[in-house]
Structure 1
Amino acid sequence: MNKYNKYIAEFLGTLLVVFISAGAICAEHSVNLTGGQSIVPVWVITLFGIVIAAIVYATSYIAGSQINPAVTISHWATGRMYAGTALYYILSQLAGAVLAAYFLRILFPTAILKVHLGTCLLGNGVELWKAALIECVVTFLFVFTIFSTTVDKRLSKILSGVAIGLVYMFGVSISSTFSGGALNPARVFGPAVVSGHFDNHYIWWLGPVSGALAAGFLYGKVFKKKSD
């Protein structure tokens, strides 16, 4: 079982990320239907950052706590991961995302049609290129932080989870009104599969993956120590 523990960690970590992030949207929709008080967005975004930090600390020693296909692709493209391992990581992440969405479908059946189980949507009047660009920029910052704190040996790993969680929280807060603030293709993929809503789905792959690749190559060419 030890040979599979890293894939299980990626599966469970991504499941938790999608369940919490998409679940917050489903919960807000459910509360609105009953006439209750909506969840304050700033607290929802803060929750996202805390969850990311917690998962980094909980699983990084097992699998590196990537929990994001864009992060995995950047590791593979920059020679830090074998292609086969990267493929299994991504499949584990997507499977966790889909299972999380199935759990949300059971808990919030009314959220399927209106909010599509919390999958990310474009903001009103936002053009496709703007949504892809903001996803690219904030994912670049997010992934560069991951490389700088978890790959670089010059920084203590004690603060890595905090740094990654804070940057993720910042990225979601900046991009949420444009693209829903995914920074992670799996975050959109799981709810999209279960709800059947794939409108403009490529944006949440194109933006995050391109940003992650740019961050990985910039770190490798400019900031990486020769001895790493």
Structure 2
Amino acid sequence: MPAAFVAVSNIFLLSLFIYGLAPASGGHINPMITFATIITGLTGFARGVLYLIAQTCGAALAGGLIRGSFGRNLTLLYGGGGCLFQPGLMTAGQVFLIESVLSFCQIFLSFGVGLDPRQHAVFGPKLGPLLVACSLALVSFSSVGLGEGYPGAGLNPARCFAFAVSRGDFKYQWIWWFGPVTGAVVHSLVYHLAPPYHRQLREEAVETKMAYQKHHQDANRESQHEANEKMADGNLA
């Protein structure tokens, strides 16, 4: 029941935050998604790095607020809020593998329903954020109970960093960062290399651009020719 509540609340909270932040940053609130858009070419490198820095700083501030609001004992009792596992029941390697696979699934779904520019005509800017939030809720809910001692996927390095700050424990923080990074890199390979559809689109785009340039040059030459004829007629007159 708590897992279902968290999943449903994620649908509303995440979609509303994306809508709210869209004018400023395009809705970038998750380093995993930001990094995925950088390596797929949808976000510029400099802008993406600024987003990552802002997300990490915001997470550190949130971790401090959690610790200050609930105190040391309550924060440690609940592990800061999430992004943890019990080393005696699961190994760090197992958790890293699970986090990598689930991160890939989340990124794949997010691109498919909202981030890929080609889907703009299908879902548009109004429906995309809601579908991204639904995909996060589904992946998050499905990860609960995958293994004993593993409460569920992190899927957001900044969120996990905030929890680490709140409980003052960074021992396994690499899992919640490199897991999503691994998932993003694998997704980037799939996005760029797997379907020939991308290469076909690039070829069509190049052909369209060349045809447009040729048409523009022909139009300029025709206009110049007409101007020269008018000038010649004027001189004869």
Give the distance between the partners of 2:169 and 2:79, measured in 1 at CA.
6
Shift of 1:71: 1.7
Within 5 A, what are the aligned runs for 1:1-228?
Answer: 40-109=2-71, 110-123=73-86, 125-148=89-112, 149-154=114-119, 155-157=122-124, 158-177=126-145, 178=150, 180-221=152-193, 222=195, 224=198, 225-226=201-202, 227=205
Name 2:215's counterpart in structure 1. Answer: none
- Worse-matched range after superposition: 204-213 or 176-185: 176-185
Q: Deviations over 1:49-75 (max 9, x none)?
A: 321122222223431212111222222
Give the distance between the partners of 1:56 and 1:150, measured in 2 at CA.
12
Q: Which runs of 5+ in 1 are unaligned?
A: 1-38
Q: Which runs of 5+ in 2 are unaligned?
A: 207-237
| Alignment TM-score, normalising by the size of structure 1 | 0.73
Aligned AA for 1:153? R
Shift of 1:152: 2.4
Give the distance between the partners of 2:189 and 2:14, measured in 1 at CA.
23
Q: Residues 79 and 150 (structure 1 numbering): CA distance in 2 closer, same or farther, change over 3 Å?
A: closer
| Alignment TM-score, normalising by the size of structure 2 | 0.71
Name 1:20's counterpart in structure 2. Answer: none
Aligned AA for 2:132? I
Give the distance between the partners of 1:120 and 1:176, measured in 2 at CA.
12
Shift of 1:143: 1.2
Q: For the pair shown, which has the larger CA radius of gyration, 1 or 2?
A: 2
Name 1:10's counterpart in structure 2. Answer: none
Q: Deviations over 1:44-97 (max 9, x none)?
A: 222123211222222234312121112222222223333322221111001111
Aligned AA for 2:19? Y
Shift of 1:163: 1.6
- Worse-matched range after superposition: 183-192 or 119-128: 119-128
Structure whose residues are more often helix by fraction: 2
Q: Deviations over 1:99-151 (max 9, x none)?
A: 12222222211323222321411156122222112211221121122222223
Say whether the 8 Å CA contact 1:98–1:189 is kept in structure 2: yes
Give the distance between the partners of 1:199 and 1:170, measured in 2 at CA.
28
SS at match of 2:15: helix
Shift of 1:179: 5.6
Paired-residue identity, %: 26
Query: Alignment length, in residue pairs?
Result: 190
Give the distance between the partners of 2:178 and 2:6, measured in 1 at CA.
25
Shift of 1:194: 3.4
Shift of 1:169: 0.8
Say whether the 8 Å CA contact 1:131–1:179 is kept in structure 2: no
